[in-house]
Amino acid sequence: QVQLAESGGGVVQAGSSLRLSCVDSGDTFESYAMGWFRQTPGNEREFVATINWNGDSRDFADSVVGRFAISRDNAKNTVYLQMDNLKPEDTAVYYCAARGWGRSEFEYWGQGTQVTVSS
């Protein structure tokens, strides 16, 4: 069973950096592709980044290319989102998610962590 818990959110100024972490308390972490998504009030959840099971394939939303990086440590059951040069429009609740092998949708979601970027 996949159980995800995010951490690392906070309130920062524009131009700052944050690193989000997401830990899976289950024992099949490396079986899953992992993703980060974000959501603001009244809006749909939007894709931010994804990484495959061994980290050799990554994808990013256009809005974060060159500023965000995604990585994973399968030994620690953890996926990271390094966010640099943060902008006020990055303010959102950030969620990590897991997608099983061969699945088209992310099946498991964390509770989210709030990121607030002030101008």
pLDDT of residue 11: 98
**Alpha carbons 78 and 84: distance in angstroms, whole number:** 19
Q: What is the dihedral of CA 3, 30, 28, 106, to 10 degrees?
A: 50
Q: In which residue are the tokens 């809006």 written?
A: 43
Instruction: Count how many Cα atoms sit within 13 Å of the Cα of residue 37 in the half-sphere of its side chain.
Output: 22
Q: Which residues of the chain have pLDDT under 70?
A: none
**Res 64: pLDDT:** 98
Which two three-digit tokens encode residue 15? 């131009």
- CB-CB contact of 79 with 70 (8 Å): yes
Best CA proximity match to 24, nearest among 68, 71, 79:
79
CA distances (Å), origin 8, targets 54, 60, 70, 71 = 23, 20, 14, 15
How high is the pLDDT of residue 52? 96
Q: What is the pLDDT of residue 47?
A: 98
Q: What pLDDT is attached to residue 105?
A: 95
Per-residue pLDDT at 1: 84
Instruction: Tell which residue, 119, 113, 97, 115, has the closest CA to residue 32.
Output: 97
